[in-house]
Every structure is written in structure tokens, then in C-alpha cells.
Amino acid sequence: MKAFADIIEIGTPLLKRLGLSAISTARELCPGVKVLADTKTVDGGQFEADMVFGAGAAFMTVLSCASSATHDAVGRRAAVFGATVIVDTITETGKAELLPLNAVFPESFGYVAVHSPTDARLAGNTSTSHIDAVKKMHDRGFLVSLAGGIGPDTLEAVIAVEPEILVVGSAITESASPKEIARWIRDRLPNPGRGWPWDRR
């Protein structure tokens, strides 16, 4: 995937199965590609941040429902490592507001993650409300990482709302030709490589 991906995600199940070695291995295999550790941190922010950033991850996720103390702890360590935090709204999926209207995050928090949870999709939930929510997050001034059911069938709708990060999982990993699917998606992105938090005006 290193020819097509700007970021390689070490998903939560893979991180639990293989631990920090999954991050270091991805860095060894793809030294020029940034790694995201999908930790979904809810507590122990400093410890988890030190572990994954110390292993070479450039990004990690922390749940939006975690305490402000956890957000602050992760934010401080991200700043030390020069890393970026993605605040994950998975626990708020389906609600009218994914984040409180007065939500404020540390400066090192670069994105809001909006997505359709895997279990909900496997149970038959075909809602595209996560795609519709991107505009609302943009209107509030957040950069967005969009995930969940992203692939050839939804790509046109996804491109229309212009998320800064497009997370593609099973469409690639469960494909008989993962390289070709990745290439197909990348070739259709109107402006690949845009949306890094440090490019924000």
C-alpha cells in the first residue's frame, strides 16, 4: 500500500493482537509513510501516547467521550513528539451532535473522526449519516477523518463532502486484489495529499 497511502492505520484489533510491534513493523516496511495507531484511548492518556508515539506512530486516536484530563494528557505528549491526535466520535454515532457545541481540544488534536462502526454495518445498518456529518464538522471548523464502509460503492458521495482523511479498510484488506483497489481509489481522488493539519490556513 505504500505507493498509494499517505497514512497506514494500525487498527485496534491488530494493535491488540500484535502490540507496539505492529507500529514498528509498519515503519520498517514503509519508512516514508506515516502511521496511525487506532488506540481509541479513553484513559491512561499519557502512558498510551508515550507508548505509541515512542514506537513511531505519527497519529493516535482518543475517544471524544474521554475526560478533558485525558485529552489534555494526550495532547501534551503529542506536542512533545511532534505528533497529531484524532478525536474519535464512534461512541456518539447516530446522535444529532457528534460533539458538544462548546467542544475545545488541545492544539495537537488535528482531526475529528466520523465513521460508521463496523459492528453496526455487519448487523445491517447501511446508514450514510457519517458521510452527511462531514459538512457539519467542516462548518464547525474541524478537519475530518471519515471511515466506515468506504469503497467503490460510496466513493462518489465521499469525494463530494471532501473529508481531509479518507480511511479505507475492508474494501482493500478483503479484496482479492488489494493493490488494484487502492490504486483505483487513489486515482479518483481529486486532490490527494491535501488536508494535513500543519497545512491549515
Each residue of 42-51: pLDDT tens digit? 999 999 999 9
Measure the CA–CA gap between 113 and 93, rounded to whole angstroms.
Answer: 11
Answer whether residue 90 shows pLDDT above 90.
yes
The average confidence (pLDDT) of the chain is: 93
Measure the CA–CA gap between 160 and 166, rounded to whole angstroms.
Answer: 12
| CA-CA-CA-CA dihedral for 109, 45, 31, 33, to nearest 10 | -30
Q: Is the pTM of this model over 0.85?
A: yes
Span 151-196, pLDDT tens digits: 999 999 999 999 999 999 999 999 999 999 999 999 999 988 888 8
For 116, the 3-state DSSP assignment is coil
